[in-house]
């Protein structure tokens, strides 16, 4: 399976570095710079097409992003962002302060609104569910995409917080 992931377009909370998690936040108005980035990504996607499946999480920011790319995505709850529990709506720095090096070096031990291990389970469930698909396009979230990149590279998600995935970044991975 080849899977291409696009992290949702920026929201006002992204701009303020607030953790969104399961909060259903709209994307921000599209700037000229974002229009150019979307156009560049669309050119890349045209070289990867056709996609036999297009998916987005249950959260509207991923569906809004898909629509701006010209896709109508099916909803897949396994793609939902990590539930940050009491840290949702709070600055990322508060999470970093609370968990110190553990957030970067050993996130699998952390339980927020859901355990980070549950996020890894959702990734394994996703890969199992869609393993027969040849070429899929996914509109998702930062933690989820960082986690699957870590999983693809290392076989686990423990390096997810050492990976950077910007809003609107496009990443393609291949899974056997």
Give the integer Cα–Cα distance in Å for 124 and 3.
14
On whether the 2-174 domain is CATH 3.40.50.800, my answer is: no
This prediction's pTM: 0.96
Average pLDDT for runs of 10 along the chain of length 176? 98 96 97 97 97 98 98 98 97 95 93 96 98 97 98 96 97 95
Quick: pLDDT tens for 55-82: 999 999 999 999 999 999 999 999 999 9
Angstrom distances, CA of residue 139 to CA of 96, 99, 168: 26, 28, 9
Q: Where are the domains of the chain?
A: 2-174
What is the β-pairing status of strands 170-174 and 2-7? antiparallel
């Amino acid at each position: 399976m080849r899977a291409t992931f696009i992290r949702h377009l920026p929201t006002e909370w992204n701009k303020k570095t607030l953790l969104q998690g399961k909060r259903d936040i709209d994307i921000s108005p599209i700037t000229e710079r974002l229009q150019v980035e979307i156009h560049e990504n669309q050119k890349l996607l045209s070289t990867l097409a056709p996609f036999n499946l297009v998916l987005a999480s249950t959260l509207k920011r991923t569906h809004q992003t898909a629509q701006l790319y010209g896709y109508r995505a099916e909803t897949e709850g396994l793609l939902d962002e990590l539930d940050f529990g009491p840290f949702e709506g709070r600055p990322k720095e508060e999470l970093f302060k609370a968990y110190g090096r553990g957030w970067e070096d050993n996130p699998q031990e952390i339980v927020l609104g859901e355990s980070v291990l549950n996020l890894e389970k959702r990734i394994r469930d996703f890969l199992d569910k869609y393993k027969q698909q040849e070429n899929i396009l996914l509109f998702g979230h930062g933690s989820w995409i960082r986690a699957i990149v870590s999983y693809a590279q290392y076989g686990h998600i423990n390096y997810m917080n050492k990976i950077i995935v910007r809003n609107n970044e496009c990443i393609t991975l291949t899974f056997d």
